[in-house]
Each structure stands twice: as C-alpha cells, then as structure tokens.
A and B are shown apart, each in its own frame.
Chain A
Amino acid sequence: MIAQQVIRTVGLTKEYVLGSEIVRALRGVDLLVERNEYVAIMGPSGSGKSTLMNLIGCLDTPTSGEYWLNGKLVSELSDDELARIRNKEIGFVFQTFNLLPRATALHNVELPLIYAGVPAKERRERAAHALERVGLAQRMDHKPSELSGGQRQRVAIARALINNPAILLADEPTGNLDSKTSEEIMELFGELHADGQTIILVTHENDIAAHAHRVVTLRDGLIESDVVRGAAVV
C-alpha cells in the first residue's frame, strides 16, 4: 500500500556549515505519514523541526537519506523539478501569510496556477472556488491590506489548496493571530482534514498541536516521541 504513504523518510540527515563548525540539524529521521493524517511536528528551537519542515516541503535537499513523497523519490531531484513538486504536491501556509500586498485575494490564490501554466479562465474559476471553500467568497476582490489577519491566513490557505496538494504544510500558521482567530483557523484545518486532506503542522504551541491526531516531537535532530491520539507508538 505504497500509495497510502504520503511521506516516507529513511535516515534523513542534514548538516550545515556554520563558520568553522558543522551543525548536524537532523541526524537520521525515519518518518512515515499516511494519507489523511493530521500530524503536528513539535520541538524546542534548535531541535531540527524547521529543517525537517524545509525538507518535507522540498525547499531543501537532505545531506543523506531518502525522502519519498507520494511514492516518488524526491531527495535527489534538481531545483526546477523540486519547484514543480512544490507547485503540485505541497501547499504552504506561512506564519506571516506571505501574500502579494498589491494583488487581490483572487489573484493571490491564482498564483500557483500561473506557475503551473493553467489558462486564465480556469485559474479564476478554481481560485474563486478555493476562496469559497475557506469562507471568503465575499472578499475575492479585496487586497490583503483590506482584510483581517484571520482572513489573510484564509487567503493563504486557499492558495495552498488550489492545486489539490498531497500535503498541506503549515508553519506556525497561528503565530501571528490572536487566540480567537487562531481557533477559527484551527477549525478550518479540522474541516479540511475531515475532507481528506493530509496536514502537517509545525508548531511549538501545545494547544495548537492538540488539534492534530498525531504529534511528532523532535529533539537534537532526532525524533524523540511520536504519539497518536494520546497513545505512544515509539
């Protein structure tokens, strides 16, 4: 049942050269995520969780080890091939939203489709549909500056979902939001998960991680614990 495994990493390591020192950010991570899982990755700063997220998001390549995404070995792809994978298979949600300030919500959501080469008419239709899905049907023509923080993050989520990615990869998605708005965003994540979306959530907040069905905790570049619905697996 390979197809059910969205993410499979084998002995993933990542080393950086920082001045004269070699920093071993990841020292051999084996992680398996199946379709429609809702995983939170936690850990203190320096634990390697950002590095792991970058590798899972295909923004970076590992020093050694294998990374299979959706049945495809992506740890050895070129820059342009990785760009294509990011475009098709991964939906990013950032802490700081990263929207184009002068573009409308609709245009922001369209952006990944532009890079995918989708014709304009289809782009608009799909972007409008994605905005409806996150509850912003009435705000399509608004620019980010005319939207609240929560609404901006919804636009970003719509943008992440537009290409029906294999995984939704959220990096501290509520880090810039108040607790009430955070709850709303987490509710939206819950709905998406209920619709079958695989979600990876990187956070250091326990109450946010609590929304996930599985919590992977890193420490010093290794998986320290991997807990599913309160029951320890490893």
Chain B
Amino acid sequence: MLFTEGIKLALQQIRAQKLKSFFAVIGVVIGVMFLMTVVTVIEGMNRYMEEDFARTIYGLNTITLSRWPEVQINTSAEQWREWVRRPRLTFEDADAIREQLDVPALVAVESGGGGRVAAEDGTEIENVWLTTASADYFRIRELKIARGRAFTAPEDRIGAPVVILGHEAAQKLFGDRDPLGRIVKIAGHRFRVIGVLEKQGTLFGMSLDNRAIAPSRSMLARVTAPHGVVDDILIRVHDPKDMQRALMEVEAIMRVRHRLRPDQPNDFALDTADDSMAFWTRISRILYLAFPTLVGIALVVGGMVIMNIMLVSVMERTREIGMRKAIGARRRDIIVQVLVESATLSGFGALIGIGIGIALAKIVDAVSPLPASVSPVWIVVSIVLGAGVGIVAGLYPASRAAKLDPVVALRYE
C-alpha cells in the first residue's frame, strides 16, 4: 500500500516538475540508451556474422582450400607478391583429395567470375556472379533448387552446356515466363537453363541471387578459370567433429602434391567459418568489455545526480517528513517512500532511455544491413538497472530523511 502510494507520489512529483525531473535522470537516460543501442548492434552483428556472413562465405562444416585466404585484413604488398607466386589449384588436386581423404566428406571445385548473361530475345543482364562448380557444390553450399534441377556428376564430367540461374537473374531475364528449358548466352556460349535457385537475399547489401552456375568443365570455365585450374576446392565433412582431422589430412595431401619440404610454409590457404568467427569473436569480446565500463560510468554519474536531487528534495520537505512522522510514519515508512520515489524517477529515466535506444536501433536496422532487433531481455535488464541505480542513489537521502528528529523537522523553516 505504501509502495503504490510512493509511486503515485513520485509520478506526481515528476509531472509537477517535468524539466527538473528530466535533467535529474538524464544520466540514467544516456546510460540506458547507450546500453540498448550498443547491445542491439552487437547482438545484430553477432547474428549477422553467425547466420549470414560466415555461412555464405565459407559454409557450415566446410573447409575452403584456395591459394590465399578468402578474408584478408591488412595484407602487405610483400604478402601479396608471395601469394600470386603460389601454384594454382587444379582438378587433379580435387580428385586427389577426394580419393585420399579418410574422413567422410563431400569435395567440390568452385571457380567464380563476373559477366553478362543474355536471353535469346536480346534481354541482357550485367554483373552476374558466374560460377563453375562440380555437382556436389549445391549440397556443400546448401543451395536449394526452387524449380527444375541441379546438374549431375556425369553432366559435370562431360561439361554439359546447362546452367542454374539465381532467383534474381531468372526474374530479370525471363520475367513471368518459365525459364526452364530456355537458352541463355554467356561469353558467346549457349547454355540451357535447367534450374532456378531459391531466393538467397543479400550480403553486405549485395544480391546473392544475381548469379549463374554451370558445370566445372563446361565452356563457362573459360570465363571463370581460363587455365584449366580452379579457384577453390570445397571440402564439407559430414560430422562437425571431423573438421580438425579433415583440415590436417587436406594439408598433408596438398603439401605432398606441392612437394613442400618440412621447413617450407604452406603455399595454399585453408579457411573455415570458425576462422572468420574467431576474428569476429575477438572484436565482440572487446566491445562487450568496453561498453559496460562506459554504461557504468554514465549510470554512476546518473546515480549521483539523482542522489543530489533526492537530498535537495528531502531537505525541501523536512517539515513534511516531520509531519509524516508526527502522524505515525515509522523510519522504514520514510525510507520506503524516498527509495520508491528515487527508483521511480530513475526507472522513468530508464524508460526514456529504452525508447531512444529502440529508436536508434531501428535507424541502424534501416540504414545498415545489420539486423538490429531489440531483445526483450535487455529491456528488462535496463529497467532493473535503472530502478537499481535509483534505489542505490536513494539510500543515503532516505536514511537522512528517516533519521530526522520530528521535533526539529516540524520546526524547520
């Protein structure tokens, strides 16, 4: 009863002195707003990295064997020179891995490039992501076929002139017409459309649906990997527990094939989704360490402002407190009243902060590819934190108020 009474009183106070109350809680507002924004952005980044980025670039349980790492950070010119001197990967490398690998796994080659694709009626699209790959590529990349079918291993071996189009490419080339069985021209060669992929969405704002995939030994390979070589060899293990073993085996096979002496470093790169995740995990750990410190500072400052406001408020109401004691308020009644008022004030600030935080997260969501959704857990955390700051900040003023001698307080001018 005293509790609801206290909240009512505090809300009255806030309403009566809107501006003063707002300035009293501005520290809490900023702290909570910061918390909400940063947490949602980091969580969004996390989800993005885990669900989209890592999976799209590397795929689940997949080792990517290539000449140099897919994701490069601060590469020196010297490093680049070493990379381009490395031997290229070949179909034979892929065959050797497929034969010699003990770990059960799918192996596929993949090469990529960009170019134009034209329909027979002259409709042409540009900047299409062109891929030549072996048949298992679809299973390794988990590419689902929406219509038609993928090409088969025999079709791949003979380099059949067939193509699978991305959702967007098919849409742009054929509109509402059925693309299956139609002919497209890529780099002067004719391919028959046998399938259309399911819609994939975007990565960093780039469409993943404007693409065409043809067998690795088809004529399209002249565009993607002109020297009879391949860009990447993908190895997808069936059991995630085999990843480490598969990595070691592939490394050993490749070192033998490239005749590397034990003292020579690898002249190829092995990447997994975990590698890119490890990099991201390091960044997010730093953020998670740095931001509570900043939020903490904002909340401590906010708490001190509230404590000051409450001290002034207690002093201004000395006579009222004296009167309350005279008519029967016990010490704990006064303490509860001050704490509830302080917590309400601070919780009110937390609500404003949550509102602004959500708005900022929505803006981030709208203008960047990061999915910055606000999780309810953090709203609860913010409210609890806000009210907690109020309670801690209210302790000293509350004890000062409770200790007032009613005789003195009633005479206070």
Contact = CB atoms under 8 A, between A and B. Distances in A.
Interface of A: 54, 57, 59-60, 79-80, 83-84, 86-88, 92, 94, 96, 98, 100, 102, 111-112, 114-117, 119-120, 159, 163
A129 to B, nearest CB: 18
Interface string B329-352: 111110000000000000000000
Contact of B326 (A57, A84, A88): A57
Contact of A114 (B1, B323, B332, B407): B1
Contacts of B322: 98
A87 B406 CA distance: 13
Contacts of A60: 407
Contacts of A117: 1
A63 to B, nearest CB: 14
B328 A115 contact: yes
Interface in B295-324: 319-320, 322-324
A83 B319 contact: no
A111 B330 contact: no
Interface in B1-15: 1-2, 5, 12
Contacts of B12: 102
Given A98-B323, A114-B2, A83 B330 contact: yes
Given A60-B407, A114-B2, A120-B1, A98 B330 contact: no
B325 A98 contact: no
B329 to A, nearest CB: 5
Nearest to B403: A79
A163 B327 CA distance: 10
A96 B16 CA distance: 23
Contacts, number: 64
B399 to A, nearest CB: 14
Best-buried of A102, A117, A159 by chain B (most CB within 10 Å): A102
Task: Classify chain B: how many residues form its interface, as a range.
Answer: 20 to 34
Contacts of B5: 114
A92 B330 contact: no
Q: Which of B5, B319, B328, B407 has the most CB of A within 10 A?
A: B328
Contacts of A54: 407
A80 B407 contact: no
Given A98-B320, A100-B320, A102-B12, A111 B327 contact: yes
A54 B406 CA distance: 9
B328 A88 contact: yes
B269 interface: no
B392 interface: no
Describe B's contact surface by its main secondary structure.
Answer: helix
Contacts of B410: 59, 94, 98
A84 B330 CA distance: 8
Contacts of A92: 323, 326-327
Contacts of B326: 57, 59, 86, 92, 94, 98
B16 A83 contact: no
Contacts of A116: 328
Nearest to A85: B328
24 contacts: A54-B407, A57-B326, A59-B325, A59-B406, A79-B330, A83-B328, A83-B330, A86-B326, A86-B328, A87-B327, A92-B327, A94-B323, A94-B326, A98-B322, A102-B16, A111-B324, A115-B324, A115-B329, A115-B330, A116-B328, A117-B1, A119-B1, A120-B1, A159-B327
Contacts of A83: 325, 328-331, 333
Query: Which 3 residue pairs across A and B have the least CB separation, nearest first?
Result: A87-B328, A98-B323, A115-B328
B320 A115 contact: no
Contacts of A96: 319
Contact of A80 (B16, B319, B327, B331): B331
**Most chain B CB within a 10 A radius of its CB, from A57, A84, A86, A117:** A86
A58 to B, nearest CB: 9
A59 B307 CA distance: 28
Nearest to A86: B328
Nearest to A84: B328
B328 A79 contact: no
A79 B326 CA distance: 11
Given A114-B2, A117-B1, A80 B330 contact: yes
B406 A115 contact: no
Nearest to A81: B330
Contacts of A100: 320
A79 B331 contact: yes
